[in-house]
Amino acid sequence: MVACVEVQPFDSLPEDISVLLEAERAEGHRLVLRLVEEWNDGSNRFDQPGEVALHARAKGRLVAVGGLNRDPYLDDPAVGRLRHLYVTPEVRGEGVGRLLVESLVDHAREGFDRVRLRTVTTGGKAFYIALGFEEIDEADGTHQISF
């Protein structure tokens, strides 16, 4: 586990979000980019009832981000969705992603009956299973956890 990891909500994009954008670009991902684009165009600011956006810092450095929305693919206000979760490669495997997801799930328990997500990577699939999510076979979701 990375020492001194702090997970906190944000209501404006972190000033140093470019650190995550550069890291994900090098890997060929677009999770943070979509978060920033949706935030800037106002289509998703994680500000609806039950929603939250979190970032994680290790020794003051931004190392992860993710959010919880009402699931936009279902017409059910009791279902949340993990969105745009990204952890920088240098801290993967050190518990930062686990801490971030557990924080999002804890928040979800207050307003949702279950949380869904979609991941396509083998590592992502194993990660969510290890955190108690179950696999589902739906066009817009691969994993869920119920409360």
- Give the residue extent of every domain in the chain: 5-146
Global pTM exceeds 0.85 = yes
HEC profile of the chain: CCCCEEEEECCCCCCCCHHHHHHHHHHCCCHHHHHHHHHHHCCCCCCCCCCEEEEEEECCEEEEEEEEEECCCCCCCCEEEEEEEEECHHHCCCCHHHHHHHHHHHHHCCCCCEEEECCCCHHHHHHHHHCCCEEEEECCEEEEEEC
Digit-coded pLDDT (tens) for 82-123: 999 999 999 999 999 999 999 999 999 999 999 999 998 999
CATH fold, domain 5-146, is Aminopeptidase (3.40.630)
